[in-house]
Amino acid sequence: MTLDKAGEEAGAGEAARFRKLQTRLLGPFGPDGVGGGAGPPGVVVIVPSFTLDQAGMDKVPGIVHYEERLLAFLHLLGDPRRRLVYVTSLPLPGPLVDYALGLVRSLPPDARRRLAFVDCGDGRPAPLTQKILRRPDLVERIKHLVQDPQDACLLAFNGSPHERTLAVRLGVPLYACDPGLSALGTKSGARALFKAAGVPVPRGVEGVRDRDDLVTALAGLRAAHPDVDRAMIKLNDGFGAGGNAMFSLRGAPRDGGAESWIRRGLPERIEFATPPDTWENYTGKLAAMGGVVEEYLDGTEVVSPSAQVHATPAGDVHVISTQDQLFDAALRQTYVGCSSPARPDHRPELRELAHRAGRALAAEGVVGIASVDFVSVRGEGGFRHHAVEINLRMGGGTAPLMFLRGATGGSYVPGTGEFLTPEGEPCCYVASDRLHKDTYRSLTPERVLDAASREGLLYRHEDRRGVILHMLGALPAFGKVGAVAVDRTAEAAHEQFRRFVALLDSLGARNTSPL
């Protein structure tokens, strides 16, 4: 038997064992898809691994500290019989853990005792799950902490083949998307699913495989829709706009000859969303991943809302949040934060379209949290939404939502799309995990927490307002931190966020000013 054949058979065997494991998957969340959910499973192993394309990960400063974001799930300790096992690359500082636990409203006194931490002692910018799998002793330690795999689940940021392998080795089912369904989360797979589910998409073509396909797709878009002057090219497995580029069709022939014009102009007329990049490098990625071509949506007002959906093991689908995404950098394609809930003038239709996409995902067997991204253009009759992406993983809005859930004890209301406290008061938030400046490197977590407290900016349980901080561990080495500003209205939340950024800037400038 060849090595390749043996590898294929081993992979098939693991996939079969994984499918059997998944038949006993129990959800750690409540019926609304957000809550703590009293009842099984009794143990949740949290693996906050950013298991995505390594080239894209290398572009994210301080990516190892993104593992701190899933401290947002400490509210799961609200069930007095539940234990959490939290795995990281490096040890989490005790004060950061204490702060995160203190954010959770009405946490039982023994919660800290039911929380165990395990680390790899490896701070390299590589996926955490890969580090765990290279350490059989660490896998055995986690198994020992789980005790009863029949009463446990593995909660992961996303489901890749590495998370599948870890689930099989632990004998614990995975609460994330089956990696065998990963094609649904590619740009081409998402377009196909949207169209089948009746969710509008931009005019364009999926299944682009190489440079020749790209030229044909661009020419076809120009011929079928002469009004399209700019096109977006997206790599199937790109994330964070890392695989996006724009191509100008201005001047391209409308009645034949477009293909040769496009082929000549591709190297010079392409603009990358996350420079630096080169045409040679990009076409190599296109040949490896494939991609899509879509019209560049433009108008008097263009917004980029998103919705998170949760599919349970039983196949139920909930929209658990809506948000308006905030972008920056080249082509305004790079996500930097969000405001939630989404604006009332497009929130109802956004919820309906996201739920439609969520039902289609659940019908394919998807389980866990996913997000559906849109580009929406205002017309005479209001906004027209175009679905552009599915992230089969936790997104930038997941940690803020879970921090809010834990801090307030509130819940999402499907009928209005609002998030309400138990007393019925609305909660809005503005969040970013990309507050990043070199001057912030001079700051420590303790100093930022103290200063925010003195200024009355830190989140307060008494009135359900203030700023929740996370990724504090990334401050000294990378000058980076995450913040979730919570208030009764979107305007007030934006003001809280603005005041906190001004405080950070002031502290950083004070520490770096010359004597």
Among 313, 367, 43, 11, CA closest to 164: 11
142 vs 88: CA distance, rounded Å: 12
264 vs 282: CA distance, rounded Å: 16
Domain 299-395 grouped into CATH 1.10.150.120: no
Are the beta carbons of 385 and 393 closer than 8 angstroms? no
Q: Is the pLDDT of residue 7 over 80?
A: no
Give Cβ neighbours of residue 163 (< 8 Å, ≥ 6 apart): 47, 49, 51, 129, 154, 156, 174, 176, 179
For the residues 308-315, what does the mean pLDDT come to?
94
Are the beta carbons of 296 and 230 closer than 8 angstroms? yes
For the residues 188-194, what does the mean pLDDT come to?
98
Q: Where in the chain is the domain with CATH 3.40.50?
A: 18-176
Instruction: Take residue 158 and report the two structure tokens written for it.
Output: 């996303």
> 251-260, pLDDT tens digit by residue?
998 777 899 9
CA angle 488, 453, 421 (to 5 degrees): 25
Q: Where in the chain is the domain with CATH 3.30.470.20?
A: 299-395
Query: Environment class of residue 188 by beta-carbon count within 10 Å: exposed (0-12), middle (13-18) or buried (19+)?
Result: buried
54 vs 67: CA distance, rounded Å: 16
pLDDT number for residue 40? 79
Q: What are the phi and psi torsion angles at 415 (to 5°)?
A: -65, -35
166 vs 14: CA distance, rounded Å: 10
> Is the pTM here over 0.95, yes or no?
no
For the residues 334-339, what does the mean pLDDT come to?
87
For the residues 17-36, what does the mean pLDDT come to?
83
Q: What are the phi and psi torsion angles at 61 (to 5°)?
A: -65, 135
pLDDT number for residue 30? 72
Q: Is the pLDDT of residue 29 over 80?
A: yes
For the residues 347-357, what does the mean pLDDT come to?
97
499 vs 232: CA distance, rounded Å: 36
Give Cβ neighbours of residue 251 (< 8 Å, ≥ 6 apart): 261
Q: How many CA atoms lie within 13 A of 352 on its CB side?
A: 8
515 vs 510: CA distance, rounded Å: 10
Other beta carbons within 10 angstroms of residue 409's beta carbon come to 19
pLDDT number for residue 6? 40
Strands (E), 360-420: 368-379, 382-391, 411-413, 418-420
102 vs 155: CA distance, rounded Å: 22
Are the beta carbons of 379 and 290 closer than 8 angstroms? no
pLDDT number for residue 2? 43
- Read off the amino acid at residue 304: S
pLDDT number for residue 496? 97
342 vs 354: CA distance, rounded Å: 13
In CATH, the architecture of 18-176 is 3-Layer(aba) Sandwich (3.40)
33 vs 419: CA distance, rounded Å: 13
pLDDT number for residue 38? 59
Q: Is the pLDDT of residue 11 over 80?
A: no
Looking at residue 38, the DSSP 8-state letter turns out to be S
> 312-327, pLDDT tens digit by residue?
999 999 999 999 998 8
Among 32, 61, 111, CA closest to 438: 61
Q: Is the pLDDT of residue 275 over 90?
A: no
